[in-house]
A and B are shown apart, each in its own frame.
Chain A
Amino acid sequence: MNHGKVSGRMAAAMFGTVALGGCITVNAPEEPIVIELNVNIRQEVIYRLAEDAGNTIEDNADIF
């Protein structure tokens, strides 16, 4: 009975350690995220600008 209780506490303590260990290993990325994928830019905006952007690329062929 008592033994079972101790085992239970140990298990709880171990579980706690594992859970804590899990928390500790989740680190924030050390390097800043390089790719700025702007999720706020809507598709309709891109569609509106597509033709102008295409012309811009053609008109500035030396830098594209």
Chain B
Amino acid sequence: MGRNMNSVTKTVLAIAAAATAIGGLATPAFAQRDPAYAAARSAGQVGERMDGYLGIVVAETPALRRIVNDINIKRRAVYSERAKATNATIEEYALTAGCQAILATAVGEKYQAPDGSWQTRTSAAPLRDPRCP
């Protein structure tokens, strides 16, 4: 039994190694949030703005500003690239991503409602712009 499990484990590891080799460096889909960002997010210090960018929910600190600016610069770069690819403006693409990002928030996380207020996500559908799909 133990031997059998071992060989299964080895097989799994071999497949994983092969997949990694094939995948090479292109593994952004599995990239995790930076721990500081993840912590600020689950603590409700930062939240999803309706324009597709991250916002500070609580009193601003240099640390939070750093996290939010870092994320937003990266998001803007991605929006810019995808907007070009889809013949849209950055604002159009960002707003659409905002719709999706708010929808994807987990229970307890913060998001911005259409009236500009910060809301805590519950199990119910989030309050979103009426144009959101």
Contacts and interface: CB of A to CB of B under 8 A. Distances in A.
A50 B133 contact: yes
Contacts of A38: 51, 91-92, 95
A23 B78 CA distance: 46
Given A35-B116, A49-B86, A57-B97, A62 B28 contact: yes
B3 interface: no
A62 B34 contact: yes
Given A59-B29, A60-B28, A63-B78, A49 B88 contact: yes
Interface residues of A, number: 26
A41 B91 contact: yes
Interface of B: 28-34, 49-51, 71, 74-75, 78-79, 82, 85-86, 88, 91-93, 95-97, 99-101, 104, 112, 114, 116, 129-133
22 contacts: A41-B131, A42-B131, A45-B96, A46-B95, A46-B131, A46-B132, A46-B133, A49-B92, A49-B96, A50-B133, A52-B82, A53-B93, A53-B99, A56-B79, A56-B97, A57-B101, A58-B29, A59-B28, A59-B29, A61-B28, A63-B75, A63-B78
